[in-house]
Structures are given as C-alpha cells and as structure tokens.
Amino acid sequence: MAEHRSMQRAALLDAARSLLSEGGTEALTFPALAERTGLARSSVYEYFRSRAAVVEELCEVDFPVWAAEVAAAMERAESAEGKVEAYVRQQLSLVGDRRHRAVVAISASELDAGARDKIRAAHGGLVAMIVEALGQLGHEQPRLAAMLLQGVVDAAVRRIELGAAEDPSVVTDAAVAMALRGVQG
C-alpha cells in the first residue's frame, strides 16, 4: 500500500512539473492534477493540502538534483575560470528540462514563505558554490560578484525560455563570455 501511495505521489509531482512547464503556476490546479493523473480530486487533497504544498515538495525533490548537476559540472573543471564557465553553462543547459522549467515557474510565482525560504536556501547553495571560485580569482567581494553573476544567468535563462531570436547556444556563449570577462574584475 505504501509503495502504491509513493507511486501516486510521484505521478502527482510529475503531472505538476508538466503543468508548470506548460502554463506556469496558474496551470497548477487540483482539478488539472486530478485530470492528468486520473485520480479523483479528493485523492489529490489526501496527498497535498494546497498548491503551495505541491510546490514546496517539488522544490525539495528537484532543486537539490539540479544543484547537484551544477556542482558536478563545476567539480570537473580544473581552474577557477573553468568553474565559473561550468556554473553558467550547466545552469543554461538545463533550461529545456521540465524540472528546470518547473523550478523557474515556481521561482517566478507567488509562494508562501515556507516555499520561498526553501528556494532561497537552495539558490543560496548554488551561489555559495561559485563564491569560492570567485574568491580564488581574487575577488574582494566574492559574494556580491556571485549574486551579480547569478543575475546574468537568470537573464540568460529568461532569454532562452522566451524562445528569443537567438539560438540558445548563442545566448549561452554570450552569458559565459560576460561572466568570464566580468569575473576578471
């Protein structure tokens, strides 16, 4: 029975990812979750008490996986510059991924404080990884530089998400170039 419940929970989370990536947070409703999973709407409430609870669990499940992929890419890099490049490239390579889309939709939405704190903590973990590399590059304010660098990444993510005129690889290369020139500061 417990196994069945965890499968249903996983199916609900997967449906939530799809809805978020297709239509943002407005698309994430209990009726839509019920329809996608074939569960009764009352069953959806057995698993999650609110939309915010769905979002919070998605953050707990997906964000660490995503952050771990960025961390792994950075660990493979030999130099501090290589780590900066890996940090930017890996985040941008995940843009088409549904998990990432869901995270972006979540980040952009109105969330309760609990979910927002979890996202901030996860983002903080991501930014903390790059602070060290920026320190190695001789930055006097590596934390500030890290925040600004993440701003470049976030802007590039939005540009790619919008399906802008440029190819995603062009946006990625431009973000990497800007990051590397900027971190020489």
Residues 121-166: tens digit of each pLDDT: 777 777 888 998 999 888 889 999 998 898 898 889 888 877 767 8
* Cα dist from 178 to 34, 96, 139, 155, whole Å: 44, 22, 16, 12
| pLDDT recorded at residue 98 | 67
| pLDDT recorded at residue 26 | 83
Model confidence at 64, in pLDDT bands (50, 70, 90)? confident
Pick the more confident residue, 104 or 81.
81
Helical ranges in the chain per DSSP H: 2-27, 30-37, 41-47, 51-76, 80-93, 98-108, 113-136, 142-161, 168-184
d(CA 77, CA 38): 45
* pLDDT of 76 over the 70 cut: yes
Give the residue from 175, 77, 181, 92 showing the smallest Cα distance to 129: 77
Work out the number of other CB atoms within 10 angstroms of the CB of residue 127.
17
| pLDDT recorded at residue 78 | 93
* pLDDT of 168 over the 60 cut: yes
Pick the more confident residue, 110 or 137.
137
- Amino acid letter at 75? E
Instruction: Convert the pLDDT of each residue in 5-61 to its tens digit.
Output: 888 999 999 999 889 888 877 888 999 999 999 999 999 999 999 888 888 888 788
